[in-house]
Amino acid sequence: MRLSSRVKLGVNIDHVATLRQARKEAEPDLLAAARVCRQAGADSVVVHLRRDRRHVQDEDLRKLCAAPGRVHLEISSEPAMVAAALKARPDSVCLVPERPGEVTTEGGLNLAKSGRAVKAAAARLKAKGVGVSLFIDPEAAAVRAARSLGADTVELCTTAYCAARGQKAVAQELERLELAAYLAYEMGLEVHAGHGLAYHNVKPVAAIPHLGGLNIGFSIVARSVFVGLKAAVSEMKELVS
């Protein structure tokens, strides 16, 4: 069953590629994974093309973008990464910070520090018709900066929400997300959120007013080991719908 919802679900399949790269074989096939995600209700497929190419490869990106369905790409703002994106032409790109050696993205962009590079990357992408999202912490200053740097969308980082322990701390983090979402919406930005979300903590985030999309990867791919990718995606789709 296909559920339609206000909150679109982007399924990040990086870790399908992580499994494949463990043996550098052809399986599991990323294109097949993308198809299953879409059949199960994913509104887009998300991949992070890392500088170190530790999981997704340029050729994966090329094939995913050539196949039917929306592809949302995460990259750093480096000119070489923007060039790789423009070669493949995903529907949209989220610019993220990337620290060499990090296990996963460690938080939102520091726009005070990287504003110039982000602005240049955003302009190059937008000039070619690629939608631009900026991954930011849920803070008013970051929302304002994202707007001024040319973002169409902000993706609010949910890491702190996911890491919060105890009712009060969780409520505080949720409120930060709600306030940032409201401000972004008021400024005319599309609002997305993601990172670290899982089946047990996604519902309050999905219920945030003005939220248009969630990008979720690790928890879905982890659950797919036990229930299969199709069931893992549709269970998540049902929770966010």
Q: Where do contacts with ligand PXP occur on this chain (CB under 6 A)?
A: 12, 14, 48, 74, 94, 96, 104-105, 135, 155, 194-197, 215-219
Q: Give the nearer residue to ligand PXP in terms of CB position, either 215 or 224.
A: 215
Show which residues are catalytic. 48, 74, 195
Calpha distance 153→149 (Å, rounded)? 11
Residue 14 Cβ, how far from ligand PXP at the closest point, in Å? 6
Residue 25 has a CB neighbour count (10 Å cut-off) of 10
Q: Give the nearer residue to ligand PXP in terms of CB position, either 18 or 241.
A: 18
Name, in order, each residue with C-beta under 8 angstroms of 234's C-beta and a sequence gap of 6 or more: 1, 40, 41
Q: Give the nearer residue to ligand PXP in terms of CB position, either 1 or 28.
A: 28
Residue 172 Cβ, how far from ligand PXP at the closest point, in Å? 21
Produce one character per residue of 199-232: b if its CB has 16 or more CB atoms within 10 Å, e if not: eebbeebbebeebbbbbbbbbbbebbeeeebeeb
Q: Give the nearer residue to ligand PXP in terms of CB position, either 1 or 145.
A: 145
Residue 102 Cβ, how far from ligand PXP at the closest point, in Å? 10
Nearest residue (beta carbon) to ligand PXP: 217
Residue 12 Cβ, how far from ligand PXP at the closest point, in Å? 5
Residue 196 Cβ, how far from ligand PXP at the closest point, in Å? 5
Q: Give the nearer residue to ligand PXP in terms of CB position, either 136 or 183.
A: 136
